[in-house]
């Protein structure tokens, strides 16, 4: 057996998360969120009722948190304005890449995964930030499970399921001996997969194997290696580029970002929203099943008849069919055939279920009142909507702050990726008013920016933009500012696009210049002076 220290580190990390039941709990949480709440119960083929309140609670909380979009602004950490234009360009590049990578939707998924499982991860394996992978918590193994700061980890391991043919090809490219390559075989190690692991089948030579991506910081630079159980097919390599035949600066941050829904003491793994809802969800489902059984057996009239007195019992449930009876003429037909009256069921069961669901939603902060739902938000001032949202999300300020930190983590990691893979400078294009605008940062500016970047994240949602717009409207109405100053104050993507108003100003300025050029000369007399024709 070839010495494989990486795999041994993986086994130590895996032993820890198995003792914590991380994989089993994550699967359980996803099943309850997706509605598979009777998983594993033998019910004789009968579909049992379930009233899933876990999903709407999670959706309400995730939507409440994720509606707080953020805008990123880079600046100098020491307040130096020398590179202000470069920081502005970097902010525009970040905004352009954020849009191209559809990060609003990706952040939503990251937060939802964290709300269900407790923690989730985003990994960037290439120079293009659009190639982001959202990883489940069972696919990421940490060296220090007590430290939630991913950048302080001694090493990080990512588990992947890769085709054996791809792994062998990478091994050959890296010059791995053929006898080691032949030890790479398909396996059925799917225990760490979430939700669909039973669908993974062993398919011989076309199957997959578990591959580990190992990352460690050596002398401040991130190094990575890849291995399977039997061999290391990608030797330890620093993440850095070359410039002019020499090694350029290496990546100093792990290309991975984590999101923890709620912190737990001395744990890098968080606590999700689903875990504490499961006991109440189980009790509601059991009560619904009992009510269903009671309704089936006693809530409807049931036919009873004397078997020896009815000659054609098969016709009892046929409409308009004649019923043949026999017996003593003195015996009434009602004594031969009768309906049993339904038994009244206590309302306590329904009240219990409704109260349990209502109280669970109230305590979890997912009621309509807590969410601050407004029937017609257009009739309410933006400042009032912001106040209502702030009040309704007060219990979720921790998660809102964590989403802001998630954006900050992206804003710090992305320049590290750009500067590492583009040491000679970089150019990104952005569509502005239908035109393609190049955004460029030179090599010299990269070297000056890297040590002292400061990240400022501000709220960027429709209500904050409306509030900013209303404040500018008020100043203009009171004639405290000019129209030109008003255009500079309003948000770039507010209800009235700033770019269109700037075009109006430019058209006015052009018209004024043209009028001045066409105006007659006033030299030698006053404007509109009539000549003296008298002799």
Residue range 105-162, pLDDT digits in tens: 999 999 999 999 999 999 999 888 889 999 999 999 999 999 999 999 999 999 999 9
pLDDT of 387: 58
**Does the pLDDT of residue 531 top 80, yes or no?**
no
Q: How far apart are CA 334 and CA 320, in angstroms?
A: 18
Decide if 60 contacts 366 (C-beta within 8 A): yes
Q: How far apart are CA 6 and CA 10, in angstroms?
A: 6
Residues constituting the chain: 535
Tens digits of per-residue pLDDT, 386-439?
555 555 566 778 888 899 899 999 999 999 999 899 888 888 887 766 678 888
Tens digits of per-residue pLDDT, 244-292?
777 778 899 999 999 999 998 989 999 999 999 999 888 888 888 888 7
All structural domains of the chain with their residue ranges: 304-337, 461-517
Decide if 204 contacts 186 (C-beta within 8 A): yes
Output the six-digit token pair for 90: 């970097």
Instruction: Write the Ramachandran bin of 6: left for phi over 0, alpha for psi from -120 to 50, otherwise beta.
Output: alpha
Output the six-digit token pair for 5: 């220290």
Instruction: Specify the DSSP element, H or E, that contains 233.
Output: strand 232-238
Burial category of 288 from C-beta neighbours within 10 Å (exposed 0-12, middle 13-18, buried 19 and up): middle
Could you list the beta-strand ranges (E) of 314-359: 337-340
Cα–Cα nearest to 212, from 13, 460, 501, 60: 13
Pairing relation of β-strands 246-250 and 132-135? unpaired
**CA angle 10–11–12, rounded 5-degree value:** 90
Q: How far apart are CA 378 and CA 384, in angstroms?
A: 11
Q: How far apart are CA 84 and CA 241, in angstroms?
A: 27
CA 308, 312, 314, 316 dihedral sign is negative
**Does the pLDDT of residue 190 top 60, yes or no?**
yes
Tens digits of per-residue pLDDT, 69-97?
778 888 887 777 788 888 888 888 998 89
- Cα 290 to Cα 48, 204, 283, 350, distances in angstroms: 10, 47, 11, 11
User: pTM of the entire structure?
Assistant: 0.76
pLDDT of 389: 58
Q: Quote the DSSP letter at residue 310.
A: B
pLDDT of 333: 77
Confidence of residue 506 (pLDDT cuts 50, 70, 90): confident
Decide if 121 contacts 137 (C-beta within 8 A): yes
Cα–Cα nearest to 413, from 460, 458, 450, 457: 450
Q: How far apart are CA 409 and CA 401, in angstroms?
A: 12
Q: Quote the DSSP letter at residue 365.
A: T
**Does the pLDDT of residue 365 top 80, yes or no?**
no
Cα–Cα nearest to 344, from 299, 301, 302, 287: 299
């Amino acid at each position: 057996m070839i010495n494989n220290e990486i795999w041994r580190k993986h086994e130590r990390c895996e032993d820890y998360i198995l003792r914590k039941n991380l994989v089993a709990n994550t699967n359980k949480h996803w099943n309850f969120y997706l509605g598979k709440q009777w998983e594993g119960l033998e019910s004789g083929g009968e579909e049992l009722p379930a009233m899933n309140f876990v999903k709407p609670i999670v959706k309400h909380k995730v939507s409440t948190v994720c509606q707080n979009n953020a805008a990123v602004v880079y600046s100098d950490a020491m307040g130096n304005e020398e590179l202000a234009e470069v920081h502005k360009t970097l902010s525009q590049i970040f905004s352009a890449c954020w849009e191209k990578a559809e990060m609003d939707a990706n952040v939503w998924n990251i937060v939802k995964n964290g709300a269900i499982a407790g923690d989730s991860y985003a990994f960037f394996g290439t120079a293009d930030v659009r190639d982001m992978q959202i990883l489940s918590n069972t696919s990421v193994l940490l060296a220090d499970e007590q430290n939630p700061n991913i950048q302080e980890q001694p090493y990080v391991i990512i588990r992947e399921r890769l085709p054996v043919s791809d792994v062998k090809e990478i091994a050959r490219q890296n010059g791995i001996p053929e006898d080691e390559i032949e030890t790479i075989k398909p396996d059925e190690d799917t225990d760490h997969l979430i939700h669909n692991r039973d669908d993974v089948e062993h398919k011989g030579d076309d199957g997959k194997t578990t591959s580990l991506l190992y990352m460690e910081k050596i002398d401040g630079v991130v190094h990575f290696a890849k291995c399977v159980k039997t061999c290391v097919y990608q030797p330890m390599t620093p993440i850095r580029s070359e410039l002019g035949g020499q090694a350029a600066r290496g990546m100093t941050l792990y290309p991975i970002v984590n999101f923890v829904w709620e912190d737990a003491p001395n744990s890098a793994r968080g606590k999700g929203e689903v875990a504490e809802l499961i006991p109440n969800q189980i009790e509601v489902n059991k009560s619904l099943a009992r009510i269903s059984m009671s309704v089936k057996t006693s809530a409807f009239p049931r036919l009873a008849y004397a078997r020896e007195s009815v000659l054609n019992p098969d016709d009892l449930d046929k409409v308009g069919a004649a019923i043949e009876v026999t017996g003593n003429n003195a015996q009434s037909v009602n004594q031969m055939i009768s309906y049993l009256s339904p038994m009244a069921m206590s309302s306590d069961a329904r009240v219990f279920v409704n109260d349990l669901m209502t109280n669970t939603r109230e305590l979890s902060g997912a009621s309509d009142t807590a969410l601050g739902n407004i029937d017609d938000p257009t009739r309410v001032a933006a400042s009032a909507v912001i106040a209502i949202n702030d009040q309704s999300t007060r219990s979720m300020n921790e998660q809102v702050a964590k989403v802001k930190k998630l954006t900050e983590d992206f804003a710090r990691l992305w320049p590290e990726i750009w500067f590492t893979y583009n040491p000679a400078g970089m150019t990104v294009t952005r569509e502005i008013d239908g035109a393609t605008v190049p955004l460029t940062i030179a090599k010299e500016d990269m070297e000056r920016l890297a040590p002292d970047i400061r990240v400022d994240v501000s709220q960027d949602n429709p209500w904050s933009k409306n509030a900013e717009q209303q404040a500018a409207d008020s100043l203009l109405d009171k004639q405290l500012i000019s129209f030109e100053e008003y255009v500079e104050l309003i948000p770039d993507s507010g209800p009235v696009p700033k770019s269109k108003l700037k075009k109006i100003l430019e058209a006015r300025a052009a018209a004024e210049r043209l009028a001045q050029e066409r105006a007659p000369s006033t030299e030698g007399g006053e404007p509109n002076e009539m000549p003296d024709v008298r002799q």
